[in-house]
Amino acid sequence: MKKYYFNKLNKIEIDKLCIRSAINYDQILEKVRPIVDEVKKEGDLALRKYTLLLDQVKLDNFLVSEKEMALGAKQLSIETKRALKVAYKNIIKFHKKQKPNSFSVETMPGIVCSRESRAIEKVGLYIPSGSAPLPSTVLMLGIPALLAGCKDVVLCTPPQLDGGVAPSILYAAGLCGITQIYKVGGAQAVAAMAYGTESVPKVYKIFGPGNQYVTAAKMLVSIDPAGAAIDMPAGPSEILVVADNDSRADFVAADLLSQAEHSPDSAVGLICISENKLDEIINEVYKQADVLSRKEVALQSVQNGFAVVAENIEIALGFANDYAPEHLLLNIDEAEKYVDKIINAGSVFLGQYACESIGDYASGTNHTLPTYGYARMYSGISVENFMKMITFQKISSTGVLNIATTVMELAQTEGLMAHRRAMEIRVDYLNSL
């Protein structure tokens, strides 16, 4: 980790620290666009081609059967089932509070405006299963979809070499009431959900993480009117830890490595108000990395990371807001009293016991969060993302007469005479009574 002193950095250098590693999407899009186009045109034929080519699996049927679902549940250990049930319980408890309320207001006599929430009818969930299956992501996306009341929930995940789906993914999907599970991965899965094939239904919005190719495919279908909306832009996983003299170096090091092990391009940052403690934490990071199975991946990420010495907590939090991390850990004394100072972050972990892993799996908050600095303008996934709001207005005859002059004047100002006439004709009618 490269070491910096905040009081020696100018604004340009601080801004540079906040920039994530560049991803050359032009090259990636060149590879992904033909896949997306082929799935759009050829449907299942293209899915079979790319499943064989990229996953080394020959499939005749993509849909997971009821028999496969039942078998998957039997193959899972009691301990894993118990853990998934606890996570499910906590996640659903927190997310139940997120459903938006309807409201109605009379803006002026005779004019009543209201807003109602409606579930997005058809949604698609992409669940990666590369180096390891991610049943936690099934819960993080499936539970909000369930609570929102989405009519059709389609889940796509890459097939294993035996042509099946990881039992943990099937079990988690079962907990969420998801039955439409397809053995399709990568950019081809995104295209299948966006446009529909003979087997995979078309959806209106696609959720879920993935590699650069999945992200590129989501970008492509989101700008195609015939495609589908997406949850948010995505980048590599990231963490920023704020530490002080009282922070345990082993705790902080473990948290940094928990994100560093995701991929070599994970963003790992530390800002500490004590240089001695910062040095202790960095030494502990390399010590703990030695025993990791993904040591090389983690160390590459750490080497690209940064460690900043700040004069006080206020400066550290100011930098955190500029950086806008996916995960922000306040491993400091009395962390709760600084909550109001946090403006930009995907999810915040307060105090020394709040390790990032808890939020990833089972605290109840969602782990699908904005990365790449998008926490400045995006929120993490919630029930609201699976819903849309519809506004209504009811106008009485009294309302027409009260608002007519305003509407006609504004229509006249904008030169839209049909707009003016639509209002005027009602006024004339009421005045004739």
DSSP 8-state secondary structure symbol assigned to residue 375: G
CA 364 – CA 108 distance, rounded (Å): 42
E-strand ranges in 58-148 read 103-108, 111-119, 122-126
Residue pair 257/288 in contact by the 8 Å Cβ criterion: yes
Q: Is 384 helix (H, G, I), strand (E, B) or coil?
A: helix
CA 125 – CA 173 distance, rounded (Å): 11
CA triplet 388, 389, 391: central angle to 5 degrees? 150
Return all residues near 62 (Cβ < 8 A) that are at least 6 apart. 44, 47, 182, 183, 184, 199, 200
Inter-CA distances, 131 with 35, 128, 166, Å: 22, 9, 12
DSSP 8-state secondary structure symbol assigned to residue 211: -
Structure-block tokens of residue 397: 């005859």
Nearest to 269 by CA among 353, 332, 334, 325: 325
CA 320 – CA 312 distance, rounded (Å): 13
Nearest to 216 by CA among 197, 235, 192: 235
Output phi, psi for 396, to 5 deg: -90, 175
Residue pair 54/35 in contact by the 8 Å Cβ criterion: no
CA 352 – CA 363 distance, rounded (Å): 15
Which parts of 290-339 fold into alpha helices (H)?
A: 295-303, 313-323
Other beta carbons within 10 angstroms of residue 376's beta carbon come to 14
Return all residues near 339 (Cβ < 8 A) that are at least 6 apart. 348, 350
Residue pair 202/196 in contact by the 8 Å Cβ criterion: yes
Which residues are marked as active site?
326-327
Residue pair 221/194 in contact by the 8 Å Cβ criterion: yes
Residue pair 147/153 in contact by the 8 Å Cβ criterion: no
